[in-house]
Amino acid sequence: ATSLSFSFRKNRTMNFNTSLLLVLFFLTSTVTFGQATATKTPAGVKVAVYKNPLGVALGDPYVLYDVASKRYFMYGTGGGAKDGFATYSSANLVDWKNEGQVYFGNTKDSWDISAFWAPEVYFRNGKYYIFYSAQWRDNPTKELENFRIGVAVADKPTGPFKNISSKPLFDPGYPILDANVYFDDKNSKAYLYYSRACYKHPVQSEVAAWAKKTGLYKEIEESWVYGVELKPDFSGTIGKPVLLLRPPVKMNDPQSEWESRSVTSKEVNRRWTEGSYTFKHGNTYYMMYSANHFGGENYAVGYATAKHPLGPYKKAVNNPVLQKNSNKGGEVTGTGHNSIAWSADGKQMFCVYHGRTKALGDERVVFIDKMRIQPDGKLIVQGPTTSPQQMPLSK
């Protein structure tokens, strides 16, 4: 298959009927998908619960907590938006209201024309900034994948967002996507993380040699995660990008089996490292990332740690921390491209990600599950779940 067919599935418009999600089936008379309800414990105590997936159909979900309104805002790929992005708001991380489209691209003056993916919104200096990926209009060589990253600004989390420039944030000379920004309180600097697209990026590795020897694929393309310092006004970058994460070269690497499943399962001749999300816990920087084909069942999440925002990062021994459960009798596949939502007091962490279920087929829908950092530093995601869970913000 061509690279075009793989990349553009990610931006497919999702004509999803949310009501279908709420009537698929009931587990007891009190719990439905993506809707806060109550159930009783054996002791007769009422407990607020919810059930995954939530009533939102989009990919690459990112959640912002807005201090001013005391509400959460979710952004992502699709979600009913045309040539841009929509947002949903919630007070409890479960019941979401569609606030409509907040960014409109593909205008006569915009640099972007299609494939609007993976938006993330940050509140800085009284303004809201959206970082996102899209196809760049400037494409003299007619590349199938010509992705770059843009920045737009608004006065409210519901927009409207307007581009701060008529050009992408920067041009490294290859297609890039999946922007994530980390603001470091330690040195007051901002760092941009992004994924170099697989497109026209064949890489030699033992996995690639094996695939060629067995006649599976002639070459294996890879996407890699880079980091670079941002200018304070987000008008560009400072210095050269630093390679932070890539798929394993050796087949005996502990990460190789799970990060190569899209190749070994004959899905596609690509290995991904994308959808990164960076945060700090104690003195350690954690970078979560997704591997494998975003359109397949093997999409999964791992993480790596470092002592500096630009690494070096070391992948965790307990990877993957989030993956399909269909091989264990579950119904969820394609779990990935996550962000993290915190309670208002910062004490509770929740992994927000997209996945697929047997009932919903190819639609990407949003899940939210508890996560934690253990005393030994290991990151744990308690998912994917589809059974009743205590409400995210419950004490």
| Mean pLDDT of the region 222-246 | 98
13 pLDDT above the threshold of 70:
no
Q: Is residue 221 part of a domain?
A: yes
Q: What is the pLDDT of residue 367?
A: 98
Report whether 201 contacts 175 (CB < 8 A): no
Q: Would residue 89 count as lying in a domain?
A: yes
What mean pLDDT comes out for the span 200-227? 98
CATH number, residue 150: 2.115.10.20
Q: Is residue 64 part of a domain?
A: yes
Residue 268 domain-assigned (yes or no): yes
- Of 233-237, 260-264, 342-346, least confident by mean pLDDT is 342-346
Q: In the numeric block, which tokens belong to residue 217?
A: 């694929």
Residue 17 lies in a domain: yes
Question: What's the structural domain count of the chain?
Answer: 1
Domain that residue 151 falls in: 3-390
Q: What is the residue type of 49?
A: V
Select from 269, 329, 279, 327 the least CA-distant residue to 300: 327
Q: In what order do the strands lie in the sheet with 189-196?
A: 176-184, 189-196, 224-230, 237-245
Which is it for the CA torsion 306, 311, 316, 320, positive or negative? positive
| Domain assignment present for 395 | no
Q: Using one digit for the tens of pLDDT, what is the confidence trace for 21-53?
A: 333 333 333 334 566 776 655 566 678 999 999
Residue 166 lies in a domain: yes
> Mind listing the pLDDT tens digit for each residue in 104-158?
999 999 999 999 999 999 999 999 999 999 999 999 999 999 999 999 999 999 9
- Averaged confidence pLDDT in the chain: 91
User: What is the mean pLDDT of the segment spanning 163-167?
Assistant: 98
- pLDDT band of residue 328 (cuts 50, 70, 90) is confident
Q: Is residue 339 part of a domain?
A: yes
97-104/84-90 β-pairing:
antiparallel
Residue 2 pLDDT greater than 60, yes or no = no
CA distance 165 to 22: 41
pLDDT at 44: 62
Alpha carbons within 13 A on the beta-carbon side of 43:
3
For residues 320-324, average pLDDT: 98
